[in-house]
Amino acid sequence: MSLHLQRVRVATTSPDTESRLVFADDFLVAVLVQLSDDHEDDAGMWFLEVGFGRLDHPMPPKFANLDEAQDWIEQRLAGNQASSTAIPAL
């Protein structure tokens, strides 16, 4: 599997506009948004704004950096998830 992150700006209702579209083998699998200074201690972290398929999550996680986010995404797409919920594969 090959991940590709594309830098974009997302029109949110907050200052959280710095974002990445995440593609896995040419499929859009997630949108990550960097949290602004409005989030105090979490400022600069990356948030899973939306995940598709195996990345759909009822409590979207935050990540310290993009490397951590990519590791989590790769693990989920490989099927190594803590949840027993069946999520369709790509």
Confidence of residue 79 (pLDDT cuts 50, 70, 90): confident
Question: Which residues neighbour 59 within 8 Å (Cβ) at sequence distance 6 or greater?
Answer: none
Q: Domain range for residue 73?
A: 3-77
- Kindly state the average pLDDT of the residues 58-71: 95
Mean pLDDT of the chain: 87
pLDDT for res 80: 63
Of the candidates 6, 84, 20, the residue with the CA atom closest to the CA atom of residue 50: 20
Distance CA 87, CA 37 (A): 34
> Does 41 fall in a domain?
yes
> Does 51 fall in a domain?
yes
* CA-angle at 37, arms to 36 and 43, nearest 5°: 70
> Does 83 fall in a domain?
no
> Does 39 fall in a domain?
yes
> Does 35 fall in a domain?
yes
pTM exceeds 0.85 for this model: no
> Does 89 fall in a domain?
no
Confidence of residue 86 (pLDDT cuts 50, 70, 90): very low
> Virtual CA dihedral for 69, 90, 5, 55, nearest 10 degrees?
-30
| Total domains in the fold of the chain | 1
pLDDT for res 84: 35
> Does 33 fall in a domain?
yes
